[in-house]
Structure 1
Amino acid sequence: MKGVVHDSLTAESEKSVELQARASVRKAQTSHKGILQHTWHCQNNNHQHLLFSFWEQWATLQIEKGVKKQKALALENLISNGIIQREETSMEEEMAGQRQGCFSLADVLYFSKKGLEAVADDEVTRRFSSEELVSWNLLSRTNVNFHQVSWQLTFVWISGILIRYCLLLPLRIGLSSFSILFLVSATTLVGQFPNGSNSLYGCHCRENRPQKGGICVANHTSPLDVLILASDGCYSLVGQVHGGLLGLIQKSCMKTAQHVLFERSEMKDRHLVRKKEHIADKTKLPILIFPEGTCINNTSVMMFKKGSFEVGGTIHPVAIKYDPRFGDPFWNSMKYSTMTYAFKLLTSWAIVCNVWYLPPMVKEEEEDAVHFADRVKAVIAAQGGMSVLPWDGGLKRKKVKESFKEEQQKKYCRIVSKDRCRAEEWH
């Protein structure tokens, strides 16, 4: 009996041990799965953290690059547009939010602000000085107050002086002297030949290149404008009579073609008749005119004189844009003589420019010469990447016309009268 009981107890104990073993195995498996899940979750979090930190660093670098680029663009715009940042708004728009009712003493602030801006940095005077560059182009005249930054930069600057003055200057003087002597002698010889009855001008013309009987108008920066355009075509020039070296070249050119030269004191009607007679003859070369009437520093296009657009005929706009990084082509005739300007060009690195022949334009019906001139000016400025200014380039030689002052006074009177009418209607 005792043996039977003992066997039954042993069997039950073995079953319980087996159940406990199975339970422990299941528990171990469950805990192992939990450990694996926890480990995978931690690794996934680490990967996400690394990816997030990488994208955060990349975004920070992109933002910093964008900020640097915006600062560089702001600096470039500040240098090219002046020390004062002006809002391109009219008098009506700027005074609309400040005025309430009729005339008030606060209106004086607008005119005082404009006056101070004009005294500090006006838009006209800046156009008759050399363009300010963002970076130094290793020309001594662009860095008058020289400060030693490093010996490497000083060495490059001195090497540039030796190259420009000892190599380029003698070579260019010899080439220029030979060219002028050849021009004078060749034009004198060609002027003795009779005109050919069946002469044709063969040229490799571009699509929008000026044709005979038309008028070619371009922005004016330098006397080099004529040489650049003449190297790609033949024109009859319209310009002021000069003396000295330029006068010698003009007289030589007059022997080979019929150019229209005039004095500034010449009657405008007489000048207009001469241009109309030239255009009426379709066998003559196209006229080359610079409607600004003076040299501008190639950062903007100033007012086009309407006389060039009263002649009639087809207008062929041409945009000329120089690269000032290699040399300053602007001729400030009030500051530099012809020989000084020539020496300035000969000691520069190079004269680089781009010329665009724009599609021909014709005056529309019921369009006066002033609006037609403004339309042509806007097309040239847009192509050359230059700003449009309504001011007359002749302001560097004479005072502001009374008509400009009267125009501003009329604008202000219209604003005051409108506000007065509104105030009366409100009351």
Structure 2
Amino acid sequence: MEGFWAVFFPVLRIWFTCVVVLIMLPAMFGISLGITETYMKLLIKSLEWATHRIQRASRAEEILKHSASNGLIQRDNSSLEQEIEELRRNRPKSAERGDFTLSDVLYFTKTGIESIVEDDVTQRFTSEELVSWNLLTRTNNNFQYISLRLTVLWGVGVVVRYGILLPLRITLTAIGLSWLVIGTTMVGFLPNFRVKGWLSELVHVMCYRICARGLSATIHYHNKQNRPKRGGICVANHTSPIDVVILANDSCYAMVGQVHGGLMGVVQRAMERSCPHIWFERAEMRDRHLVTQRLRDHVNNKTKLPILIFPEGTCINNTSVMMFKKGSFEIGGTIYPVAIKYDPQFGDAFWNSSKYSMVSYLLRMMTSWAIVCNVWYLPPMTQQVRDQAENDKVAVISSTTSELPHFCATMLMRLITPSLTHFLCAQEGEDAVQFANRVKSTIAQQGGLVDLAWDGGLKRAKVKDSLKEQQQKKYSHMVVGDDSSD
């Protein structure tokens, strides 16, 4: 037994020395020694070779490629009215009059069957389908023997991931979290001078960089000139809890979230001592006005860090962006959109919280090949409103044209400059919901994600009755016609 400990402690000392010198210290200062880059090059070559072997062994991969990208159900972007009118094309008179047509039943039947087979919502709460197997057992549950070389490569990968990468990543994560708690606690005892804020940001960024190295994260940041500034609100699509690590690896943010207990509670309290993060009790989270006021007070202080918020409220599977809650867009101030897109070839970053606990999820991340993602900083956006000068111009034009005959008023409007015509016809700007949808569409377009109007809360709740009533009202309007009354 003494001989075991005589060997164990020197090996452990060498292990920690290599981790600290070769990985942790370079990560803290944003320096790369090329270890991760070399590992990624070897990994890409291995996966390309494996993909080639799989495709050569079976052309069924081509079928999988198309089904993964297009889905089982082929849908178009037609609305309810357009599709029903297409079914009524043999009865144009009834379509104009708005009478009920028996063929309307076919639309609802088809839509219902499509939703049972594959709907646009629930499939966003499961892992994304891969084009080709990436040598992870969990991404190929129906794995069949393909070739001896591929089986040997898979076996070597298991040894590397669980025998080398997993202990290394656990070590780095433990060091990163420990340094976060210790560093922020020490900074918290300093007086509130400018140096305290600088040290707090330095500690946060260093710790997140260590944790990112613990996941073998390769992050590509684009358009860094658009990085969120103080007094602003950073909103991003949400795929995983590690989204925070990905973003905070490049800049420091004020976090918003619910107060937790246990280890997470210890980390939250330590972080709050050195930086003005915003943590809410469960009862406070239900008070929407209280939450909005605290966030607004933070944004109004231009010396505080930008707030990081994920308006979807839940994790979506890296293929789409779902409805943004309007609360983040009622605060006011400047919104800094950020699009995050992970590469599923190296590891599935999506957290299915209804299926895996946080510990199970982190274990899956630490036994993946790597975390590779792109982050796009988009230009800042503000809510579109019409100022008082524009309103005065509209009032003058409206009062002038209202006193003229209809023909003269029309001719006058044609002579008015296009900008003033726009002011007259425009609404009083956009509300919080419209602003949130505009930001969401911008993020989806940049990240190559599907823009969905559904609420991510459907991950755990049933469809709201109001959504059903909207569809019922649309169809009722078609049947009853324009003469219907509320």
TM-score normalised by L of structure 2: 0.68
Correspondences of 1:29-48 after superposition (within 5 Å): none
Matched AA of 1:391: W
Deviation at 1:220, TM superposition (A): 0.6
Q: Is the 8 A contact 1:246 1:338 kept in 2?
A: no
Deviation at 1:209, TM superposition (A): 0.8
Structure 1 gap ranges (5+):
1-70, 422-427
Q: Is the 8 A contact 1:210 1:316 kept in 2?
A: yes
Aligned residue in 2 for 1:36 = none
User: Does residue 1:377 correspond to 2:447, yes or no?
Assistant: no
Give SS of 1:367's match.
coil
CA distance in 2, matches of 1:173, 1:104: 64
Correspondences of 1:262-301 after superposition (within 5 Å): 262=280, 263=282, 266-301=286-321
CA distance in 2, matches of 1:74, 1:86: 19
CA 1:307–1:244 in structure 2 vs 1: closer, same or farther (change >3 Å)?
same
Give SS of 2:274's match.
coil
Instruction: Write the deviation string for residues 85-125 of structure 1: whole angstroms up to 9, x where unpaired.
Output: 11221111111121231102221221111111111111111
CA distance in 1, matches of 2:153, 2:74: 35
CA distance in 1, matches of 2:458, 2:73: 21
User: Does residue 1:193 correspond to 2:172, yes or no?
Assistant: no
CA distance in 1, matches of 2:72, 2:123: 11
CA distance in 2, matches of 1:77, 1:190: 53
Correspondences of 1:73-222 after superposition (within 5 Å): 76=65, 78-99=67-88, 100=91, 101=94, 102-197=99-194, 206-222=224-240
Q: Is the 8 A contact 1:322 1:351 kept in 2?
A: yes
Aligned residue in 2 for 1:240 = 258
Deviation at 1:200, TM superposition (A): 7.0
Matched AA of 1:96: E
CA distance in 2, matches of 1:295, 1:348: 19
Structure 2 gap ranges (5+):
1-59, 206-222, 386-428
Q: Is the 8 A contact 2:338 2:375 kept in 1?
A: yes
CA distance in 2, matches of 1:89, 1:107: 15
Q: Equivalent pairs: percent with the same residue?
A: 57
CA 1:346–1:200 in structure 2 vs 1: closer, same or farther (change >3 Å)?
closer
Q: What is the aligned-residue RMSD (CA, Å)?
A: 2.3
Matched AA of 1:82: G
Aligned residue in 2 for 1:354 = 374
Corresponding pairs, count = 351
Give SS of 1:182's match.
helix
Q: From 364, 368, 372, give the equivalent of 2:431.
A: 368
Q: Is the 8 A contact 2:230 2:306 kept in 1?
A: yes
CA distance in 1, matches of 2:384, 2:323: 20
Deviation at 1:161, TM superposition (A): 0.6
Give SS of 1:277's match.
helix
Aligned residue in 2 for 1:404 = 467
Q: Is the 8 A contact 1:319 1:384 kept in 2?
A: yes
Matched AA of 2:237: N
Matched AA of 1:85: Q
CA 1:75–1:85 in structure 2 vs 1: closer, same or farther (change >3 Å)?
farther
Q: Is the 8 A contact 2:197 2:274 kept in 1?
A: no
Q: Is the 8 A contact 1:76 1:134 kept in 2?
A: yes
Deviates more, 1:218-227 or 1:205-214: 205-214
Q: Is the 8 A contact 1:309 1:369 kept in 2?
A: yes
Instruction: Write the deviation string for residues 20-67 of structure 1: whole angstroms up to 9, x where unpaired.
Output: xxxxxxxxxxxxxxxxxxxxxxxxxxxxxxxxxxxxxxxxxxxxxxxx
Deviation at 1:194, TM superposition (A): 1.3
CA 1:297–1:408 in structure 2 vs 1: closer, same or farther (change >3 Å)?
same
User: Does residue 1:328 correspond to 2:348, yes or no?
Assistant: yes
Deviation at 1:185, TM superposition (A): 1.4
Deviation at 1:269, TM superposition (A): 1.2
Deviation at 1:305, TM superposition (A): 0.5
Q: Is the 8 A contact 2:185 2:271 kept in 1?
A: no
Aligned residue in 2 for 1:309 = 329
Q: Is the 8 A contact 1:299 1:387 kept in 2?
A: yes
CA 1:414–1:98 in structure 2 vs 1: closer, same or farther (change >3 Å)?
same
Instruction: Write the deviation string for residues 278-324 of structure 1: whole angstroms up to 9, x where unpaired.
Output: 11111111111100001111100000001110111111000111111
CA distance in 2, matches of 1:413, 1:209: 48
Deviation at 1:72, TM superposition (A): 8.4
Give SS of 2:72's match.
coil
Matched AA of 2:120: E
CA distance in 2, matches of 1:336, 1:81: 27
Larger radius of gyration: 1
Matched AA of 1:414: H
Deviation at 1:126, TM superposition (A): 0.8
CA 1:350–1:220 in structure 2 vs 1: closer, same or farther (change >3 Å)?
same
Deviation at 1:138, TM superposition (A): 0.2
